[in-house]
Structure 1
Amino acid sequence: MRISVLQQREPFGAILEATLAEFCRQVWNQPATVQWREHGSARARPANGGQLWLCNPYLNAIFVPEANRAIFDPIRREFARSVVAWRRLAQRAYVHMSLSRAGAPFAAQASLCIAPGLPNAEQLLIIPGNHKIRVLDYASQSVYGIVKQGFSADFMQREIEARRTAETLGLPVPALQQVGETGLWFKERYLSGTPINRLASDGERKAAEHTAMAALQRLLAATTREEGIEDYVARQAETARALIAASHLLSNAQRDSLLRVIGRIHGLVAAHQQALGGKIQTALTHGDFQPGNILQNQDGTWLIDWEYSARRQSGYDALVLHLGARAPHGLAQRIYALLAGTEPDQTNILTTWPGLDWHNRQARQIYLAIFLLEELVLHVQENANSLFRRPGQGLLTLEHELWPALQAASA
């Protein structure tokens, strides 16, 4: 999630200040004062002899003006080639200008002052995210992930546990090098790769996607277990209801609508569960299996960002990828097309994915209904934060898609 979006959702500057100050104290044993300034940074000057850092909220990058240009490789890989063809030339030019020594101060929209300054700052790149902040250290070829101050450590704990399991199974994940005693930060191997939706070669993209799917299927094979459908759905529904009731971000009308969806899903599954013999296969899932989290570089294909990992139905990751669920707009129409057989190439993932009986229409309806419930749980968990000023756009969009999506799934 980009800084420009985070600023709308939360008091980003205050969170960044507190997180980086605590990180300096815990990890580098260096007390530091961090000051965020929201203004153009071309003429910014560090206060009290501190160290100036430039922030580009669109490239999601914070760095010192003297930065080693090599640290920007992950940014170039992610942003230099737009997924929209007509934007590519302009976006490539903007990225080049924004990361140049001359252009960076003018493209920056905010700045940080850190006092005392960090050693080897020209080798560091700070990348804020949804639940954590990453500090990339090019010199040591390591990356630190730090839970944002005021945020639950639950997502980081999920990520650490899932990645340890994935590493044990030989999945292509960056190696964890250290985990803080508090569980609020970790250190991992440095990785710079191109998200597969930014690859120019369609063949290379498909090959990387296939490699990533094969890796996740090894994870499924090692963690799958059979559960009663009603018990599983009841647990998911209970979690969703509790989070919805506790949310300060939802209106009463939104709560009522979401609770009705949960009731409808519960009823649909109860009515048709015998299509699967009353059982469903669950497994440890990645949780955010989408092209932006599949990276390709000279060393191969990599799976990153495991913070949404959890035990879910075995087909969850395949459904996230195939339905483009991380961009919920149009989800109902994609589900309708999937069940109606009108979408192209629908036989590639779901018909062969472990744990899915995709040739059984009633079974498909159950999988999709449960998937919508699992998606709702993920989005309300993501928004269960007292610091948030507004719900994330993903939850708002999903809310509008849920009823038509459920109707499409049960038609």
Structure 2
Amino acid sequence: MRVQEMQQREDFLPILSRTLERGFSMWLGASVEVHAEPAPGRQTWLLQPFLSACYVPGADRRVRRFLRDSIAFTAVTRRAPLQYAGGVALTTAAGLRLAGRPCFALTPSLEGAAHTLVVPGNLRVRLFDFAARRSLVLLKDGFSSQSMRREVETRAEAGASSLPILRHADDWTWFEEPLFDGYALARCPPWLPRAALEERAFEILRAWTSARLRVQGVSSWAAEKLESVEALCQRLPRSRSGSGDRIVRFATALARQTSPLEEITVGRTHGDFQAGNVLVSRDGGRVVVIDWEHAGERMCDYDPLVYELGARRGPSIIVEQVRRFLGGEPWRRLGHEALWDVRRRRALLAAFLLEDLLWFTQADLGGPFTRESAGLRMRLARSDALLGALSDRGAS
């Protein structure tokens, strides 16, 4: 999630400051203060909004390379040359200095700050130490620890399919992991075989998810999902009760459209399976899946559909992808009869959108957010378009 969206839906800087005070103090074994304003005697850290990262002026080459690799490459061929040139320019020492703006300041100064990077996220803040080759993952102040506990426990089960947890807090407020030297699949360079690496990521996913499958009648499944949505909406702040009503209406309409499936297979899922959560080593020899904080039991097609529909990529992508799927595009990730029967395709998509609506509603209760996420707002704003696409007339 971009810093800009975090700033729009939470008290960003105070939350970041309290989280970093806790993290840096634990890291150094001494009290550290985080200040909102730079001043003489304080160590100033810059924020690069486009990269959603904080660093000190004079960040060393390891920090710069990590940031370059997070933005320089793209799978979109027509955009690749310009993106590479821009990504390289943006992450030079001069580029980071010019594009960064003061975000916070530390006292005392952090020794080795030049090889340290702070990356705020939706639920957590990551501190990267490129000299020690480790990352400290901190639960944001005031946020639910459930996601951290789920991450640690799930990664213990996933084993070599993910990065190991080196140590973690008993209260689930932080964990430490090794740094991975490579790229996110979404940003892997063109000389690596992206399609083959993507298939290996799906093999990892299938091996993990296929162990605990069960079949359930779709009517009871949809009723349970709708009940969960309603219960979550009861917990929304009073200021957001209107959006809660819209969520329940949308969920009710989706639940009604699942009946042609008759049965649905459910099992454990990653919950946020996308190319940004797949890491590839620099030589392409190793693939790992990260960020398991949303793992849980869902319809077994949930992860492949998140990936194929681009459900985490942008506000309008999912609507177009739903139409493509309903139009008969054969997606090899879904190897069952729902591919060929338009009624079952509509029902499968309705089930997915219901599951995904529950996902976004649940995620919005994970912290002191003041407004919906962009993903949830888009789904509510486009609910009529999505329901229209799922109707007989919309799919014809």
CA distance in 2, matches of 1:212, 1:401: 31
Tell me what 1:59 maps to: 51
1:119-177 Cα distance to aligned partner (Å, 9 max, x none): 3222211111111000111112111111110111122222222211111xx42x11111
User: Which residue of the other structure, out of 284, 287, 294, is the alignment partner of 2:271?
Assistant: 287
Q: For 2:87 and 2:327, how far apart are their aligned partners in 1?
A: 42
Asked if residue 351 in structure 1 is aligned to residue 335 in structure 2, the reply is: yes
Task: Quote the Cα distance in structure 2 between the aligned partners of 1:281 and 1:155.
Answer: 24
Choose which of 272, 277, 292 in structure 2 pairs with 1:306. Answer: 292
CA distance, structure 2, for counterparts of residue 214 and residue 377 of structure 1: 26
* 1:181-238 per-position Cα deviation (integer Å, ceiling 9, x unaligned): 2111111111132233333538711111100001100012223233343333223212
Where structure 2 has 5 or more consecutive residues not aligned to the other structure, the ranges are none
Select 1:177's aligned residue among 159, 166, 170: 166
Shift of 1:371: 0.8
- Amino acid aligned to 1:339: L
Q: For the residues of structure 1 that align with 2:239 and 2:305, how far apart are their CA atoms?
A: 27
Q: Which of 81, 96, 107 pairs up with 2:99?
A: 107
Q: Is the 8 A contact 2:119 2:127 kept in 1?
A: yes
The 8 Å contact of residues 34 and 113 in structure 1, kept in 2 or not, is answered as yes
The residue aligned with 2:316 is: 329
Q: For residues 33-69 of structure 1, what are the alpha-carbon distances to aligned partners after superposition, in whole Å with 9 as ceiling and x for unaligned?
A: 10134xxxxxxxx535222222211112211223321
The residue identity in structure 1 corresponding to 2:286 is G
Do structure 1's residue 409 and structure 2's residue 393 form an aligned pair? Answer: no
Distance 1:78 1:35 in 2: 28
Change (3 A) 1:115 1:290: same
Paired residues for 1:36-115 under 5 Å: 36-37=36-37, 46-47=38-39, 49-82=41-74, 88-89=80-81, 91-115=83-107
- Taking the aligned partners of 1:86 and 1:35, their CA distance within structure 2 comes to 43
Q: Which residue of 2 aligns with 1:42?
A: none
What is the CA–CA distance in structure 2 between the aligned matches of 1:249 and 1:376, rounded to whole Å?
A: 20
What is the match of residue 272 of structure 1? 260
Amino acid at match of 2:44: L
Change (3 A) 1:72 1:249: farther
Distance 1:357 1:102, change over 3 A: closer
Alignment of 1:146-185 (within 5 A): 146-167=138-159, 170-171=160-161, 173-185=162-174
Q: Check whether the contact 1:21–1:33 (CA below 8 A) recurs between aligned residues.
A: yes
Match of 1:233 in 2: 222
Determine if the alignment matches structure 1 residue 377 to structure 2 residue 389.
Answer: no
Cα 1:339–1:86, aligned 2, differ >3 Å: closer, same or farther?
Answer: closer
More divergent stretch after superposition (317-326 vs 301-310):
301-310
- Structure 1 residue aligned with 2:182, among 174, 184, 193? 193
Letter in 2 for 1:49: G
SS at match of 2:170: coil
Whether the 8 Å CA contact 1:82–1:198 is kept in 2: the answer is: yes
Distance (Å, rounded) in 2 between the aligned partners of 1:332 and 1:104: 36
Change (3 A) 1:250 1:380: farther
Gapped runs of 5+ residues in structure 1?
A: 38-45
User: In the alignment, what sits opposite 1:261?
Assistant: 250
CA RMSD of aligned residues (A): 2.5
Equivalent pair of 2:144/2:367 in contact (CA under 8 Å): no
Partner of 2:304: 318
- Return the letter of the residue paired with 1:395: L
Contact 2:67 2:91 in 1 (8 A): no
Q: In 2, distance between residues paired with 1:379 and 1:18? A: 26
Please give the alpha-carbon distance, in whole angstroms, between the structure 2 residues aligned to 1:408 and 1:302: 35
Q: 1:243 to 1:409 in 2, by over 3 A?
A: same
